[in-house]
C-alpha cells in the first residue's frame, strides 16, 4: 500500500465513522475538538485512578 492508498483508506474510514470534518465550519470544528479533548481527558483520568488502585500503585 502506498501513501495515496493509505490516505484514501483513512478518508473512507473517517467518513464511515462520522469523523469527516471537511464540510464543517470553523465553529463546528472547534466544538468537535473540544468534545474530543474532554473525552481524552476523561480517559486519562480514568486510567490514573485505575493505576492508583492497582497493587503496584499502592507502593508509592
> Tens of pLDDT along 10-58?
999 999 998 888 899 999 999 999 999 999 999 988 887 777 776 665 5
In a domain, 60, yes or no: yes
Which range of residues forms the domain containing residue 49? Answer: 24-60
* Total domains, the chain: 1
> Tens of pLDDT along 24-37?
999 999 999 999 99
Q: Is the dihedral of CA 38, 43, 46, 47 positive or negative?
A: negative
In a domain, 16, yes or no: no
Query: What's the pTM value of the predicted model, to 2 decimals?
Result: 0.59
Contact 24, 14 (CB under 8 A): no
In terms of Cα–Cα distance, which of 45, 44, 46, 17 is closest to 32?
A: 17
Q: Give the largest CA-CA distance in the chain.
A: 50
In a domain, 10, yes or no: no
pLDDT over 70 (residue 4): yes
Contact 45, 56 (CB under 8 A): no
∠ Cα 15 20 24 (to 5°) = 145
Amino acid at each position: 500500500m502506498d501513501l495515496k492508498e493509505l490516505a484514501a483508506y483513512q478518508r473512507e474510514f473517517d467518513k464511515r465513522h462520522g469523523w469527516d470534518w471537511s464540510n464543517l465550519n470553523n465553529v463546528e470544528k472547534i466544538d468537535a475538538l473540544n468534545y474530543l479533548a474532554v473525552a481524552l481527558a476523561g480517559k486519562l483520568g480514568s486510567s490514573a485512578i485505575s493505576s492508583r488502585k492497582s497493587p503496584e500503585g499502592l507502593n508509592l
